[in-house]
């Protein structure tokens, strides 16, 4: 069990560019979450997948953000037309619906928009 894997770990992009982050959850975890964390704050919920279905999306998420989990395994989070306010750490987490209650977080993807 290698844990939740995220890629890239760091991304610097120019304002207006699109970025995509990938998350590979722990094998057989059917629940997948995306969170965003800025310095000095707790993680903020972005979206939730159960298998391939996106069941919940934060109202704070603008139309520039989209997430997919096409086959119920890995997930991608895309940010279009990035803004400086998007600079944050994007965290992916996974859990198993029926086995245990722990939610495991990945190492995060740091985004800096310049």
Partner 1 sequence: ELKVEQNPLFLSMQEGKNYTIYCNYSTTSDRLYWYRQDPGKSLESLFVLLSNGAVKQEGRLMASLDTKARLSTLHITAAVHDLSATYFCAGKLTSGTYKYIFGTGTRLKVLA
Residues that bind partner 1 (CB under 8 A): 31, 33, 40-45, 48, 50, 55-56, 58, 91, 93, 101-108
Helix (H) or strand (E) holding 12: strand 10-13
Q: How does DSSP assign 72-87, residue by residue? A: SS-EEEEE-S--GGG-
Least CB distance to partner 1 at residue 75 (A):
14
Q: Which is nearer to partner 1, 14 or 39 (CB)?
A: 39
Question: Is 41 or 84 the residue whose CB approaches partner 1 more closely?
Answer: 41
**What's the rounded Cα separation, in Å, for the pair 81 and 86?**
10
Shortest gap between Cβ of 56 and partner 1 (angstroms)?
A: 5
**Smallest distance from partner 1 to CB 11, Å:** 15
Question: Which tokens go with 78?
Answer: 């895309």
C-beta closer to partner 1: residue 84 or 101: 101
Cα distance between residue 99 and residue 94, in whole Å: 12
> Which residues are CB-contacts of 99 (< 8 A; sequence separation ≥ 6)?
none
The nearest distance, CB 3 to partner 1, in angstroms, is: 9
């Amino acid at each position: 069990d290698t844990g939740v894997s995220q890629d890239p770990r760091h991304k610097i992009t120019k304002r207006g560019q699109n970025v995509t982050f990938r998350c590979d959850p722990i094998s057989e975890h059917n629940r997948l979450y995306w969170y965003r964390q800025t310095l000095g704050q707790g993680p903020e919920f972005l979206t939730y997948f159960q298998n391939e279905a996106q069941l919940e999306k934060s109202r704070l998420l603008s139309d520039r953000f989209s997430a997919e989990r096409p086959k119920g395994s890995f997930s991608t989070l895309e940010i279009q037309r990035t803004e400086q306010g998007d600079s944050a750490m994007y965290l992916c987490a996974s859990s198993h619906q029926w086995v245990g209650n722990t939610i495991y977080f990945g190492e995060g993807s740091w985004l800096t928009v310049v």
